[in-house]
């Protein structure tokens, strides 16, 4: 299946074409085939609201997403779900637990769901998720819900992927303090205390509200909501706040800022991959590293020399291609 056939299939909402396109991005979003796909796909994107769901393990993210996506489907929308799973840096394999838990229930309502891993590609987690979001966007899915691993860098990377980030916490697990330590208070656009049937739920909500009140205040006041994913209590309020934030995001500079962040993210990953290739190939890179190893120069100067070297080579390549 060539790229044009994949694009045509995506426009028809063909599940096989959608899955093939996502696999291309997941394998290596910086490869030539992936870049051709994104160039041809991009004009058909920009309509979907991407919602990031993050939070510590065990707070009920998967159950919440199943209920939320079903709620959207019942409203006549066409939600899609992407679940990020951790992969081994050695085997590049992953235990796709999210797929096992969610896929059957989502399929009953015709909701597309796909698990993603980074396949061991450093820094590419958010890029592959971003590419997958564009595929679902072009296929007419809206909103697109992205679930993070629940720990580590992926939870911060969701800022580069989602328009709206919801941080999920649960009472009685110490999640409120952990969220503050992990920087989630900064990345979240809204906060959810799940499992409100548990003791201490409303105390946890008050703690989060008090913490947010101490932070900087902008045009968007971050709401704190209580949910019960088993009964559905609070989900109408959640969807209303998500929609309200989407309107806020599209009201001017916030949308421009996110696109700027997306471009910077791509530049960072392209440059990282290019530099890793140079490091593997040796040549002038080996000379610089030998000087660092012998203590002739320090690592900071070595890094500057390598970046200057790579930028110079990139400029030469750009001129030769014109």
Question: Residue 230: which CATH number?
Answer: 3.40.50.300
22 occurs within a structural domain: no
CA atoms 102, 147, 243, 132: torsion sign = negative
pTM over 0.85: no
Q: How far is CA 280 from the centre of its chain?
A: 28
Q: How many CB atoms are located within 10 Å of the residue 239 CB?
A: 17
- 298's tokens: 């320090």
CB 103 within 8 A of CB 110: no
17 occurs within a structural domain: no
Q: Are residues 165 and 275 in the same domain?
A: no
Q: Are residues 303 and 210 in the same domain?
A: no
52 occurs within a structural domain: yes
C-alpha–C-alpha distance, residues 70 and 55, integer Å = 20
Q: Are residues 147 and 285 in the same domain?
A: no
CA atoms within 13 A on the CB side of 30: 19
- 63's tokens: 């159950």
Which of 250, 269, 297 marks a domain boundary? 250
Q: What pLDDT, on the 0 to 100 scale, is given for residue 176?
A: 56
Instruction: Give the number of domains in the chain.
Output: 2
| Tokens 């969701």, residue located | 158
Q: Are residues 85 and 163 in the same domain?
A: yes
206 occurs within a structural domain: yes
Q: What pLDDT, on the 0 to 100 scale, is given for residue 90?
A: 43
Q: What pLDDT, on the 0 to 100 scale, is given for residue 125?
A: 58
With a cut of 50, which residues of the chain have pLDDT below it? 88-95, 120-123, 322
User: What pLDDT digit, counting tens, does each position of 283-320 carry?
Assistant: 667 788 888 989 999 888 988 887 777 666 655 655 55
160 occurs within a structural domain: yes
Q: What pLDDT, on the 0 to 100 scale, is given for residue 105?
A: 66
Domain residues for the domain of 152 are 46-250
Q: Are residues 187 and 217 in the same domain?
A: yes
| Tokens 């208070």, residue located | 185
34 occurs within a structural domain: no
C-alpha–C-alpha distance, residues 41 and 44, integer Å = 6
Closest CA to 157 of 190, 193, 129, 120: 129
114 occurs within a structural domain: yes
Q: What pLDDT, on the 0 to 100 scale, is given for residue 308?
A: 78
- 11's tokens: 């426009």
3-state secondary structure of 103: helix
């Amino acid at each position: 299946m060539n790229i044009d056939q994949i694009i045509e299939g995506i426009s028809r909402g063909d599940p096989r074409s959608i899955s093939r396109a996502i696999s291309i991005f997941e394998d290596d979003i910086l490869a030539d085939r992936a870049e051709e796909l994104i160039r041809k796909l991009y004009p058909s994107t920009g309509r979907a609201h991407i919602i990031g769901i993050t939070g510590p393990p065990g707070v009920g993210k998967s159950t919440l997403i199943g209920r939320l996506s079903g709620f959207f489907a019942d409203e006549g929308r066409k939600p899609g779900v992407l679940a990020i799973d951790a992969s081994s840096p050695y085997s590049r394999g992953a235990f796709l637990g999210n797929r096992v838990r969610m896929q059957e229930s989502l399929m009953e309502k015709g909701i597309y769901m796909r698990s993603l891993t980074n396949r061991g590609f450093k820094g590419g987690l958010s890029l592959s998720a971003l590419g997958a979001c564009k595929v679902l966007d072009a296929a007419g899915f809206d909103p697109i819900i992205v679930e993070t691993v629940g720990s580590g860098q992926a939870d911060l990377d969701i800022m580069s992927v989602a328009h709206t980030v919801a941080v999920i916490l649960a009472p009685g697990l110490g999640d409120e303090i952990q969220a503050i330590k992990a920087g989630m208070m900064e990345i979240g656009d809204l906060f959810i205390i799940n499992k409100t049937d548990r003791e201490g739920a409303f105390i946890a909500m008050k703690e989060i509200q008090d913490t947010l009140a101490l932070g900087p205040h902008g045009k968007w006041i971050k709401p704190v909501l209580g949910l019960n994913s088993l009964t559905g209590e609070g989900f109408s309020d959640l969807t209303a706040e998500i929609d309200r934030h989407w309107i806020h995001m599209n009201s001017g500079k916030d949308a421009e800022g996110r696109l700027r962040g997306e471009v910077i993210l791509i530049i960072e990953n392209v440059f990282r991959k290019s530099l890793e290739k140079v490091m593997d190939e040796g040549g002038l890179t080996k000379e610089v590293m030998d000087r660092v190893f012998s203590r002739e120069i320090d690592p900071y100067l070595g890094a500057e020399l390598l970046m200057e070297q790579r930028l110079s080579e990139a400029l030469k390549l750009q001129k030769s291609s014109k």
